[in-house]
Copies of this chain bind each other. A is one copy, B any other.
Amino acid sequence: LSGENRVLTMDTMNPNVKRVEYAVRGPIVQRAVQIERELKMGIKKPFTEVIRANIGDCHAMGQKPITFFRQVLALCSYPDLLEDGKFPEDAKSRARRILQACGGGSLGAYSTSQGIEMIRQDIARYIERRDGGITCDPDNIYLSTGASDAIVTMLKLLVSGEGMSRTGVMISIPQYPLYSATLAELGAVQISYYLDEDNCWSLDISELRRALQEAKKHCSPRALCIINPGNPTGQVQSRQCIEGVIRFAAAEKLFLMADEVYQDNVYADGCKFHSFKKVLFEMGLEYSEKVELASFHSTSKCYMGECGFRGGYMEVVNLDPEVKVQLTKLVSVRLCPPVPGQALLDVVVNPPQPDEPSYDTFIKVSTLAEKANMTQEILNQVPGIKCNPVQGAMYTFPRIHLPPKAILEAKEKEQTPDMFYCMKLLEETGICLVPGSGFGQRDGTYHFRMTILPPKEKLKIVLAKIKEFHQHFMAQYS
């Protein structure tokens, strides 16, 4: 079948799809898959396994699921187990309560499109506890298929206009590439503001202002996206910074989108997670009744790391009631988020209490703080690698200094220099990272994103291998 005779070709395809890029699962990961196949076929390599430090996939990196959560999911999946004496009563009561809220008492029924009402109520109470009692209305909660789904839905609502009046959306650079990919798909204008690498990837309001002023010349800026704690950069924003962002959004009439999926992943001393919602409400009526906000959360990160269930939700604040009707209509077309993910979310926001049997064995302990420190320490020992503290989330985004000879060779191979570096690292060590170019970075700087998720002993080996590789690389190309 020759290309010309096809209906759907690169020439006829949606041009916005062509512009979509998503480096976290890009060419380097495809090569990693090939290498794994080659290893299986017995092809000799200087390593015996591929280590995927490219994606925040906790369970794939050996983290065990939380027993209590999985007991409840098993009970919900196969309710005959409710008669089984081996399951603790608190797991059973959670499961019964969830099943009662499901159509026909089954995870297999569709839920309402916004998500099961009881679960939205539980989430609202969870948010109220997190935010020191600030009210949360369950009607403002929308469950979703992972946080990504809700982020895309909100962006979809926000995008309109043509030419000069086309919607512009501010995103940080470096950013999580879901944002740039979705803006490309929707044909919206990406407005890049740079995080300050020299100040631990902090957000500088004057940089927001610069980016906005420039953008106003060619589009209509309407939303500001923040990722806190940061992905890929691992910083945790101060309360003062968040207040500044909110003031800026209010003054410039920007819709705030707060990606807070790493809200429980904060490690550094002196750092604390402040939700945009809480700060907004504590800034007084001038802001709390004015600024439109959507905040996103997920079951995929934090201590549970249950990515595969695709559980997530957003809370909308100050959304126009008519727009809310439209939002509800829009999500109804896709019927409902996966119900097992909704059930999981319900247990996450409603964990065992001190007077319940599973409380003592319910363990949220994480070694991530330790691994965050170790990563930063070891990488900073390598000449030519500079790494900010990993204050939160589960990534480090170190800067790598690449010699001109390497940059030249990359150019010859039509690769970005950091892709060239990461590809070489993969071929020589089996370690799979994502080049900084996939997230965006200041011109002439190079980075990679690496997760800190491998088990401690393995992470040590990974870091040692990167160190050795980098020294080799520098020697080879200088």
Contact B61 A7 (CB under 8 A): no
Contact of A320 among B8, B182, B306 (CB under 8 A): B8
- How many residues on chain A are close to B (CB under 8 Å)? 102
Whether B57 lies near A326 (C-beta < 8 A) is no
Docked complex: A129-153 residues within 8 A CB-CB of B: 145-146, 148-149, 152
Can you list, as one digit per residue, whether each of A271-307 has a CB less than 8 Å from chain B (1) or not (0)? Answer: 0000000000000000001101000000000001111
CA distance A20 to B78 in the complex (A): 37
**A338 contacts chain B at the CB level, 8 A cutoff:** yes
Smallest beta-carbon distance A325→chain B, Å: 9
Which residues of B sit under 8 angstroms from A177, Cβ to Cβ? 333
Give A72-95 as 1s and 0s: 1 = Cβ < 8 Å from B's Cβ atoms: 011101101100101000000000
Which residues of chain B are within 8 angstroms of A22 by Cβ–Cβ distance? 329, 332-333
- CB pair B104–A7 under 8 Å, yes or no, is no
**Chain B residues within an 8 Å CB radius of A7:** 222-223, 253-255, 292
**A41 in the interface (beta carbon within 8 A):** no
Q: Interface stretch among A106-114, A204-212, A390-398? A: A106-114
Q: Does A404 contact B (CB under 8 A)?
A: no
Q: A15 an interface residue at 8 Å Cβ cutoff?
A: yes
- Confirm or deny: A309 has a beta carbon within 8 angstroms of a beta carbon on chain B: yes
Using Cβ atoms and an 8 Å threshold, which residues of chain B touch A335?
25, 146, 148, 307, 310
Residue of B nearest to A116 (CB): B308
The answer to whether B65 touches A8 (Cβ under 8 A) is no
- The answer, yes or no, to whether A361 is at the interface (CB within 8 Å) is no
Q: Taking the complex as formed, is A157 at the interface, i.e. its CB lies under 8 A from any CB of chain B?
A: yes
Q: Which chain A residues (237-275) contact chain B, with CB distance < 8 Å?
A: 253-255
A185, A305, A341: most-surrounded residue (chain B CB, <10 A): A341
A471 interfacial contact with B, CB 8 Å: no
Q: How far is the CB of A299 from chain B (nearest CB, A)?
A: 9
Contact with B along A177-195 (1 / 0, CB 8 A): 1100110010000000000
* Cβ–Cβ < 8 Å partners of A160 in chain B: 12-15
Q: Could you tell me the distance between the alpha carbons of A67 and B77 in the complex, rounded to whole angstroms?
A: 10
B6 and A320 contact, CB distance less than 8 A? yes
A8 lies within 8 A of B77 (CB): no
Identify the closest chain B residue to A91 (Cβ).
Answer: B78
Nearest-neighbour CB distance to chain B for A260, whole angstroms, equals 18
Interface string of A336-357 (1 = CB under 8 A from B): 1111110000000000000000
CB-based contact A318/B6 at 8 Å: yes
Q: Mark A369-410, 1 if CB is under 8 A from B, else 0.
A: 000000000000000000000000000000000000000000
Q: Is the CB of A104 within 8 A of B333?
A: no
Does A452 make an interface contact (CB < 8 A)? no
Contact of A308 among B15, B17, B336 (CB under 8 A): B336
Q: Which of A23-54 contact B (CB under 8 A)?
A: 24-26, 33
Per the bound structure, the CA–CA distance linking A71 and B329 in Å amounts to 35
- 28 chain-A/chain-B pairs, Cβ below 8 angstroms: A1-B290, A3-B320, A5-B290, A7-B223, A8-B292, A9-B322, A10-B322, A10-B326, A12-B222, A13-B157, A14-B156, A14-B159, A18-B326, A21-B329, A22-B329, A22-B332, A59-B108, A60-B110, A64-B106, A70-B78, A74-B75, A108-B304, A108-B308, A108-B309, A178-B333, A309-B340, A310-B335, A310-B338
Other A-B contacts than A13-B160, A57-B109, A177-B333, 20 sampled, CB-CB below 8 A, are A3-B322, A7-B292, A9-B320, A12-B160, A12-B222, A17-B157, A18-B326, A22-B333, A33-B112, A55-B110, A60-B104, A60-B106, A64-B106, A148-B334, A148-B335, A185-B333, A308-B336, A308-B340, A309-B339, A340-B341
